Structure 1
C-alpha cells in the first residue's frame, strides 16, 4: 500500500520509465518550489527548512514590492543603509548555499542510474542550469549588494547632519571640476545650483558663469576681511583677476585654515569658499554640494550606455583657439554620444563662447537626468557604481539618501526649468546683484506656480 500510494517516495526502481518521469517531477518541483522535492522524496526535515526559507524569501519580495508601490522611500532606506545591506547580503549568500544543497540533494534523490540512459544527460544538464541560475543569481545579487555598500560608503558622508529645506527648497551646488594637464589643481569648470522643491521634486537649474566677478560674501563668511576682501567691503576683491572659479584652487592651495572643519564634514576649503560666494551672490542657502570630476565624466556616461543630444552647431574635438590639431568634429543633428564625445560636447570652447558652453553643460546634465531609466541603471549597475565612486564627491549624508532618491524620481518626471546668469542679462565683470537675485527669485516662483497648476 505504501509503495502504491507514494510512488514518488517509494518508486518502482526496476522501471526506467517510472524513474525517468519521477526524476523530471523532482527536478521541476525543486525549480518551482525549492525544498518540495525533499518533502516528497527525501529528508522531510531538510525539505521543510528549504520550503520555509523559500516561502520567506518570496514573502519578503512580495512585501517589498507592495511597500515600494505605496512607500518607495522605505525600500530606498533599506538599500542605502549599511547595516540593512549587510543583512540583505547575508540572506542572499545563505540562500545561494541552501539552493546548492537542495539541488545536489535532488540530483541524488533522482537516482540517475535508474532512469533511461538517453534522459540522464538531459536531467543532469537541466539541474545544473537551474543550479547556476538560482545559486549564481543569488550570489551575484550578494556581490551587487556589496558593491552598493562600498559605493555608498565611498561617496556619501556617514556622520554628516541632515540639513532641512529652506523656504521649501533644497539648493544643491553642482560643480564640474576640471583638473586637466594644462591646469594647476582642480578648478570648477561649471557651476550650477539645482534648486529642488522639497515636496514635489520640481527642479530649477541656475547657471553660474565661471568668470563672475565682484561677488559679495554672505554674512559670517570667513572670506570677509581675508585676502579675498582687500577693500574690506565684503566683496570678492583680490586684485585684477577675481573670477569666482579661481576661489576653489586658491583657497585650497593657500587658505585651508579659513575652513578648519571642512574635511570632517565631507567637504574641503575650496568647495566651502565657492559655496559662500554663490550664497552671497544669489542670496540663497546652499545645503549640499556635488562635485563631478570632468576627467572621469566620460567613464560615467559610458557606464550608462551613452546619451542622446540634439547638436545645433558644429563643434571641434581638441585643438587650440586657432583650430590647430583638431582631432575631429561633433556634427549638427541628433547624436548618441559616448563618454568621450559627451565630454567634448561639454568642454568644447574654441568656436563658441563660455556661455554657449554653459548651456551645453546644462543640456547634458538635464539629458542624463531624464534619459536614463531604472532598468538601464540596474543592468549596468556595477560599472555605474565604480564610475560614480571615482567621479563623484558630495557631502549629502547617507541618512538622507532614501529621501533624495525618492525626490529624484519625482524630479525625473517633471520639466526642469533653468535660468542662466549670462550676458546680456548679467555683466559678469560688474553684476547688478539686485537684478541677479530678482531673476533667481522670479525663476523659482514661476517654477512653483507651474507645479501648483499641474
Structure 2
C-alpha cells in the first residue's frame, strides 16, 4: 500500500480529503494521490452496495429483505453492522485527513529532508475534521435510533400474554352456569401446546377487537375474525362470528367441556375471555394467557381449525393508530346509522355515515366498524373486515419518515396491538401478507338465518355447528355467486314458511333445509304438524303476502328458480309470514350438498 503521497497530493487540503472520505470511503485518499490506499478503503463498501443492489433489484428478494427487518435478531444484527460501519467510516475519514496533512507537511518541509516531518495541523483543519466526524456519527446515531424504535415495537407487541387490562374483572366472582356434570375444583388446568406453524399448512389467526371499559369493569371481545390463509394458493378466508353467539363448543380435552352442559359455553362469546381468566380450574394457561387460549380454542373447535395465533386490537388504541397514519379512506357500501352510538362517560350521539368514499379519522373509523343499531350483524362484520383490508392497503411506509410520526405510531401500536405471534415469525408472515391478492379475500359472516338461530326475545344467537363447519371446509372453493346471493337474502330477512301439501314424509323439512342452504331462513311451522290445508297438491305453490315482494326481490328470484314456479301475490293480514311455500307431488327432491 502506498505510504507516501504523489507530488500532486502535496498541496491538497486535509479538510477536503476528510470530507471526500465522508462522502465515500477512499475518495479522500485518492484525492491525495494514494490510489491504492483509496481502493482498499472503498472496496468493502463497494462490494456490500453491489450485493444490496442485486437483492433490491429482484422483487422477491427485496420483499424478503424488507420483511426481515421485522425480526428482533435481524434488527440487532443491523445495529451491530451500523456500529461497525461507523467505525469504518471514522477510520477512513481520519486516515484521509492524516495523509493529506502529512503530504502538506512534506511539501512545507521540502523533499530533501530525511525522515518523516512532524505534522502541525492547522486549528481550522482540526475543527473541520471534528465537524465531519460529528456529522458522520449523527447519521449513524439516527439509523441506530430507528433500529431501536423498530426493535421496541416488534418486541413490545409480542409478549405472549396479550393486552391484559388492569381493571378487568376476574370472572370468578360467580360460578358458571349451565352445568351439572362436574365440579370446577381449584387445581389449575395445564396449558395447551399448539402445533407450530411450519409455513406450508393453513395459517389461522384470530383477530380480536377488545372493548375495555375500566369504569364499568368490563372487557368484551366484541370483534372476532379468524383469518384463514392458504400459503400455497395465497387465498384468504375471513370468518366472522357475531359477539352475541352462545353455545359455542369447547375442546373436549378441556375440563370446561365436561363442566358445561353439552360441552358448549352457555353465555355470549364476547364474555368468554373474562370468564376463562377467572377459572384456572376449567381453562388452560396462566393468568395472562388463559382468556386468549379460551377464545382460540373455542373458535378453533367451532370451525375445526387449528388457530395458531391471535392479534388483539384495543379500540382506543386503534383510534390513535388511524390518526397517526393520517386517517383512512373507506368505500362505504351502505349508509351507517346509529341513533345511540356510545361514547365515553356513558354518553351517546346520533351517528350517520353516508355511502361513498369517505376519509375518516380514528374516531370515525371506529364508529364505522362498531355501529350496530339499525343494521345487521352481517353488515357490521363486513364493515370490520373492510377496515382491516383498508389498513393493509393504505399504509404508506414513506410517510412514517416524517419527524415524530414513527415514534407516535410505535407508541400507538404498542397500546393498541398485542399478539402471541413469535417475533421471529414476523418476516415470514409479512411476506405472506404482501403476497396475498386482496381481490381474492373471501368473507364468511356467520349470521342467521342460514348459519345461526336467532332468539329475538333474549337477543342471542345459537350456531348451526354443522353448517358452519361445512362452510369453513369449503371456504376456498365457495361459489362466489352463491355467497353473494346469500348476502342479499340475509339482508332482506324474509320470513318463510314451508308446508307439506303432498303428504310425503319429511318433504317440507327437506325443502326448508335446502332453502336454508341457499340462505333463506325457511321453517316448518309446528301448527297442524307442518301440513297444508290439504295433502293433494300436485305442484309447488309459492305465495308472497301483504306486499312483501317489493322488499324481497332476491329471495323471490331464488325461490322461483329453485322450485321452478312463478310466485303468487296475496293480501291476508292474518298470515304473519312474508312467503309461504306449499310442497306438492311434483316438488323436486332437494338435498344439501356435503
Q: Shared fold by TM > 0.5?
A: yes
CA distance in structure 1 between the aligned counterparts of 2:374 and 2:316, rounded to whole angstroms: 21
Q: Looking at CA atoms only, which structure, 1 or 2, has the larger radius of gyration? A: 2
* One of 197, 201, 205 as aligned partner of 1:168: 201
Report what 1:61 is aligned to: 52
Change (3 A) 1:338 1:33: same
**TM superposition shift of 1:132:** 7.9
Report what 2:282 is aligned to: 258
**TM superposition shift of 1:203:** 1.0
Deviates more, 1:156-165 or 1:205-214: 156-165
1:305 and 2:326 are equivalent in the alignment:
yes
Change (3 A) 1:185 1:205: same
Report what 1:272 is aligned to: 293
Task: Give secondary structure in 2 for the equivalent of 1:285.
Answer: coil
Which residues of 2 match residues 372-411 of structure 1 at below 5 A? 372-376=395-399, 381-411=406-436
Note the residue ranges of structure 2 that are not aligned, 5 or more in a row. Answer: 103-124, 162-192, 455-460, 481-594
Report what 1:334 is aligned to: 357
Task: Give secondary structure in 2 for the equivalent of 1:211.
Answer: coil
**TM superposition shift of 1:67:** 7.0
**TM superposition shift of 1:283:** 1.9
1:304-354, Cα deviation, whole Å (9 max, x unpaired): 332111233144597559x98527654443111122221121122344344
1:192 and 2:182 are equivalent in the alignment:
no
Contact 2:322 2:362 in 1 (8 A): yes
Deviates more, 1:126-135 or 1:146-155: 126-135
Change (3 A) 1:395 1:222: farther
* One of 448, 453, 460 as aligned partner of 1:427: 453
1:255-295, Cα deviation, whole Å (9 max, x unpaired): 134345346xxx62111112222122222221111111112
* One of 353, 363, 368 as aligned partner of 2:391: 368
Task: Give secondary structure in 2 for the equivalent of 1:219.
Answer: coil
**TM superposition shift of 1:209:** 0.6
Q: Greater relative contact order (Cα 8 A, min sep 6): structure 1 or 2? A: 1
Deviates more, 1:182-191 or 1:44-53: 44-53
Contact 2:21 2:27 in 1 (8 A): yes
CA distance in structure 2 between the aligned counterparts of 1:218 and 1:74, rounded to whole angstroms: 40
CA distance in structure 2 between the aligned counterparts of 1:348 and 1:172, rounded to whole angstroms: 24
Change (3 A) 1:172 1:326: same
Task: Give secondary structure in 2 for the equivalent of 1:258.
Answer: coil
Contact 1:196 1:204 in 2 (8 A): yes
Report what 1:444 is aligned to: 476
Report what 2:379 is aligned to: 356
Contact 2:328 2:359 in 1 (8 A): yes
CA distance in structure 2 between the aligned counterparts of 1:158 and 1:80, rounded to whole angstroms: 17
TM-score norm. by structure 2 comes to: 0.59
Change (3 A) 1:225 1:309: same
Note the residue ranges of structure 1 that are not aligned, 5 or more in a row. Answer: 14-18, 112-122, 449-454
**Which 4+ stretches in 1 moved above 6 angstroms?**
42-46, 104-108, 126-133, 158-162
Count of residues in correspondence between the two structures: 412
Which residues of 2 match residues 14-33 of structure 1 at below 5 A? 26=17, 29-30=20-21, 32-33=23-24
* One of 144, 147, 167 as aligned partner of 1:145: 147
**TM superposition shift of 1:365:** 1.0
Report what 1:119 is aligned to: none
Contact 2:159 2:418 in 1 (8 A): no
Report what 1:90 is aligned to: 80
TM-score norm. by structure 1 comes to: 0.76
- Structure with greater proportional helix content: 1
